[in-house]
Structure 1
Amino acid sequence: MPISPNQGSTGGGTPVTVTGTNLTGTSAVTFGTKPATNVVNVSPTEVTAVAPSGTGTVGVTVTTPGGTSNPAPFFYVGAPFKSTLSPTEGVTAGGNTVTITGTGLSTATSVSFGGVTAVPTVTSDSQLTVTVPVGAGPGPVPVSVTTAGGVNNGFSYTYVDDPTLDSLTPTSGPTTGGTAVTITGTNLTTTEEVTFGVNPAPFSVVNSTTVSAVTPAGAAGAVDVTITNAAGSDTAIGAFTYVAEPGI
C-alpha cells in the first residue's frame, strides 16, 4: 500500500495519497494512533488524507468495511534550521550560486528569494546550494527553504545593480589626502570599495545615491575615481586632481 509522499512535517498538515486495492468505503486513515483529517475516497484504489502531527516513523493504516490494512511506514521530519547563507548579495540578473547550511535540509524541495522559487541541489542534511533566480530589482528580499518538515525563514539576500558615479564634490585636494569628498550616483547602497587612482579610500554610505569618502594621499595630478559593489564598478576618468602644496 504505497503512500505518497511517505514523509512530512512533525506539525502535520501534509497531504498524502494512499493507493491500494479494495479501498471503497474507507472510513478512516490512521497515522500510528492518530486519525488523519480530510479523508476522501477517490476511487477503489485511491484515498487522500491530511497527516496529523507526529514524530519519528509511524505505520499508516486504512480502515474499510472489510477491515484494516497492514501498516505502511510514514516518516515525520522536523522543520529545517538555517545557520548561514553565503554570499548574501549578488546581481539582480541572478545566476550566481548561494550555499545554505543548517540542519534538516536533506528533503529541501525549493528555496524562495522574495517569492521567486528555485530548485536546490542538496549536498547533505546540513548543506545545499541553489542558483539565485532573477530579482525584481535591487534591494533585500527574504529567503526561505521548504522541506518535507516545513518552511524555514529568517535569511535575507540583497540584489545589487551596477553602481554609477555621476559627480564628485570637491574635485581637487592636497596630495597629503584627507579631503572629504561627496560622491553622487545610483545603486550606491551596497558600495564595497572606493579608490582614488589605485589607492583605496575610507568611505561611508549615506544612501542609495550618495557616498562620503576621504581621499588617501596621492601624487600630484588627476586620478580616476572608481566605486565598486558586488555587481560591478564605475569609473570617473580623471575626476579628482591632487594639488601639490606650495613651496618657498
Structure 2
Amino acid sequence: MPISPNQGSTGGGADVTLTGTHLANATAVLFGAKSATITANTATSVSVVAPSGAGVVDTTVSTAAGTSDPEPFYYIPPPVIVGVSPTSGPVAGGATITVTGRGLATTTSVAFGATVVTPTVVSDSQLTVVSPAHAAGVVALVVTARGGTATASVTFTVVGAPTVSGFTPLTGLPAGGTLVDITGTGLSTATGVTFGGVQAVFAALSSTRVAAIAPTHSLGAVSIVVTTTGGSVTAPGTFLYLLG
C-alpha cells in the first residue's frame, strides 16, 4: 500500500495519501500509536493529515474488514541554519548565496522576504541559492524543507549600486604604498578595489568611505574601480602614477 509522501515534519501537518484497494469507509489511520485526521476517502485511497511524531513509524489503515499491512513513515526534524554567506547582494539579484546548517537535504524553497526561489541542495548540511531581484533593504531569509521552516539568525541585505564621488590623494609612486581615501555611498559591503585592473589592499571604513593602498603599477593615469555586493563603480577622474 504506497504512501505519498512517506516523510514529514516532526510537528505533523503533512498531507499524506495512502493508496490501495478496499479502503472505502476507513475508520482509522494510525501513524505509530497516533491517529491521523482523515480528510478524504475512496475505495482506492485515504488522505490524511499526519500527526506529530519522531523517527520511523508504521502507518496503517483500518476498515470494517480489518487493518492493512504497515508502511513506514519517516519523521524529519525542522532544518537548522548555521551560516549564510555572503549576507548581502545586489538589487538586480544574481548573487550565489551558500546556506549551511542541518536538515537541508529536503529543502524545497528559500524565501528572501516575500520572494521565493528554488535552491540547489548540495548535501544535508549545505545548499546554494541565487538571490532574486529585490528592492534595496533588509529581508529575512527563510528555508523551507520537508521537516518545516527555519529563519536565518542574520538578515540578508539587498544592496543598491555603489557610488564614488572622489578620492584623495590623486597621485602616487609606481612602487605603490600610497594610502588613498575613497568617498561615496553604499561602500560598506566593498569586496574589491582595483587601480588600473590591479587589486589593492583595502578596508571598508563605513558606508561612505573606503581606504585603499595603491598597488605597484607602471607610470601613467589609471582608473579606480570599487566593487561591492551591490555592484561595481568607477571613480570619477584618474589616479596618476608618477615619479617623486
Identify the residue that residue 143 of structure 2 maps to in structure 1.
145
Q: What is the number of equivalent residue pairs in this alignment?
A: 238
Structure 2: state its 5+ residue gaps.
none
Return the alpha-carbon distance in structure 2 between the equivalents of residues 93 and 238 of structure 1: 27
Which residue of the partner structure matches residue 120 of structure 2?
121
Native 8 Å contact 2:94 2:133 kept in 1: no
Give the match's secondary structure for 1:21.
coil
1:230/1:109 Cα in 2 relative to 1: closer, same or farther (>3 Å)? same
Residue in structure 2 matched with residue 134 of structure 1 by the alignment: 132
Do 2:192 and 2:199's aligned partners in 1 also have CA atoms closer than 8 Å? no
Aligned-partner Cα distance in 2 for 1:34–1:8: 15
Distance in 2, matches of 1:15 and 1:91, equals 37
Aligned pairs for 1:99-118 (under 5 A) are 99-118=98-117
CA–CA separation in structure 2 for the residues paired with 1:161 and 1:17: 46
Contact 1:24/1:41 (8 A) holds in 2: no
2:3 and 2:215 map into 1 onto residues whose CA distance is 71
Q: Deviations over 1:124-177 (max 9, x none)?
A: 2222222x1423223332222211111111143333333122x34878799997
Per-residue Cα deviation, 1:38-74 (whole angstroms, up to 9, x for no partner): x123322222111111111111111222222121110
2:24 match: 24
**Secondary structure class of the residue paired with 1:135:** coil
Q: Is the 8 A contact 1:26 1:41 kept in 2?
A: no
Equivalent residue, structure 1, for 2:43: 44
1:229 Cα deviation (Å)?
Answer: 0.9
Asked if the contact 1:20/1:46 (under 8 Å) is kept, the reply is yes
2:8 alignment partner AA = G
Q: Distance in 2 between matches of 1:133 and 1:96?
A: 5
In angstroms, what is the RMSD of aligned CA positions?
3.5
Match for 1:102: what amino acid?
A: G
| SS of 2:190 mapped into structure 1 | coil
Q: Does the CA contact (< 8 Å) of 1:201 and 1:215 recur in 2? A: yes
